[in-house]
Amino acid sequence: MQKRRLLASFALVLTAVLPALSFAAYPDKPIRLIVPSAAGGAPDILMRALGTQLSQQMGVPIVIDNKPGASYVIGTMEVVRAAPDGYTLGYGNIVSLATNRALMPKLPYEVDKDLTLIGGALRVVNLLVVKDKLPIKNVSELIAYAKKNPGKLVQGTAGNGTSGHLGGELLRSMTQTTMVHVPYKAVTGAINDLIGGDIDIMLENTPVVGPHVKAGRMRALGISGSQRSAQYPDIPTISESGVPGFDVTAWGGIIGPANMPKELVNRLNAEIRTALASPILRERFQTLDAEIAPSSPEEFRELSRRETIKWAEVVKISGAKLD
């Protein structure tokens, strides 16, 4: 009897110690970070910068794996199906964690059940830009032109459910204008068509379109956030340019599959915070006009829930649909 008790006690101690030992050894091989959009977009650029810093800290390669398609669903589902061991992570953002829930009644994953939200990382505002040949210099002129020419302006976006898509829907709803929405499979296609004159307007993440504005390949009319950008101080907000209250800010962070051990989630959250605090990464994000915004797993999940409610209302009011 005494021997059985000793064995049982040993088993309990071993059960408690083994996870700690495994986490102490983590990571001991490359970590895959799935970005559910194409290379060249803001998520890809920002996650590569974050991945480089995390790799230096954690001592293993962080391999960026672009899995675009179906409004972030394809890549997000790869995260859902992965083992919860910390070796497959993903980028989760306003699209995969909020607007998809508002736009897709048959979304194949449930954020609260199928994903672990490890922590927020960033916020990004959008630039409202037009092709250089369009005779429009500011937001007020854009609104007047759209009202005079209903349905003539064509807005390109990085895809359905993106902040550019629903931000455009919100802008049209608030200004009572009509434009044609064309979703692209990748933001680079929309940018090329805007520069080439095939489409007229975009509302896209600043890190992506900002360099083209600086190079004179497109004209910026306004910033989508509530404050002017430090990188573009001369560009007014859309809110101060004739659309009071307009505020669209994209955000994102790191996610994993459901049932990740709490100790592992806390370890990864701490690594993300350390990476975001590094001077090199802070300077890189500032150059890209992205705001560093670390958060706890609980705060990240609350942001997802709050933004889902907000964008569900926008979808309802604007009548936004998947094009």
Lowest mean pLDDT among 31-35, 78-82, 158-162, 253-257: 158-162
Question: How much is the pLDDT for 23?
Answer: 62
Q: Strand pairing of 201-205 and 249-257?
A: unpaired
Q: Where are the beta strands (DSSP E) in 100-145?
A: 115-131
What residue numbers bound the domain in which 50 lies?
2-123+251-318
Q: Is residue 106 located within the same domain as residue 255?
A: yes
| Residue 323, domain member (yes or no) | no
Report d(CA 155, CA 297) in Å as an integer.
Answer: 35
Q: CATH number, domain at 228?
A: 3.40.190.10
Q: Is residue 153 located within the same domain as residue 118?
A: no
Q: Can you give the pTM of this predicted structure?
A: 0.87
Q: Is residue 131 located within the same domain as residue 113?
A: no
Secondary structure of residue 53 in the 3-state scheme? helix
pLDDT digits (tens, 9 = 90+) for 120-152: 999 999 999 999 999 999 999 999 999 999 999
pLDDT digits (tens, 9 = 90+) for 215-243: 999 999 999 999 999 889 999 999 999 99
Among 222, 241, 260, give the residue marking a domain's end. Answer: 241
